[in-house]
Amino acid sequence: MRIQIINGPNLNLLGIREPEIYGKKGFDDYLHRLRDLYPNCRIDYFQSNSEGAIIDKIQEVGFDRDGIILNAGAYAHTSIAILDAIRSISTPVVEVHISNVPRREEFRHHSMISTGCIGIILGFGLDSYRLAVEALLNIK
């Protein structure tokens, strides 16, 4: 089982950025623990602040991974191009958000990418990524 995590803009600042919303833990530490939890699963990680780089990564991995966990950050609310990329590949994509976006500002309530994804996990902090791994393991 090989899973790709893709994090979008500003998620490189987890632990520093708005800790009251996103928590105080950096993603690197969390990723170590996630990999320890699933020793039989290869979990690759990519982060970019750039929409085009995210699309390139989706295209690159979208035919040979078993699943993609995508937190597109703010691009989730705006990017038809990322939706089109998700629809262009064969690997199932789980949309993830750390925060409970429906409880936040109205402009975060709509996701442009959800219709391309097999499901959405949001609001459980960094544990949302683990729940997404579980979801992917269970559809296999």
Chain contacts with ligand DQA (rule: CB under 6 A): 10, 71, 73-74, 76, 97-99, 101, 108
Q: Report the distance separating Cα 119 and Cα 93, nearest Å.
A: 8
Count of residues in the chain: 140
Picking from 123, 48, 59, 121, the residue whose alpha carbon sits closest to that of residue 85 is 59
Q: Report the distance separating Cα 21 and Cα 34, nearest Å.
A: 21
We find the least distance from the C-beta atom of residue 111 to ligand DQA, in angstroms, to be 9
We find the least distance from the C-beta atom of residue 130 to ligand DQA, in angstroms, to be 14
Q: State the catalytic residues.
A: 22, 97
The vertex-26 CA angle with 23 and 30, nearest 5°, equals: 100
Q: Report the distance separating Cα 37 and Cα 3, nearest Å.
A: 14
35 DSSP 8-state letter: H
Closer residue to ligand DQA in complex, CB, 90/99: 99
Closer residue to ligand DQA in complex, CB, 67/73: 73
We find the least distance from the C-beta atom of residue 39 to ligand DQA, in angstroms, to be 26
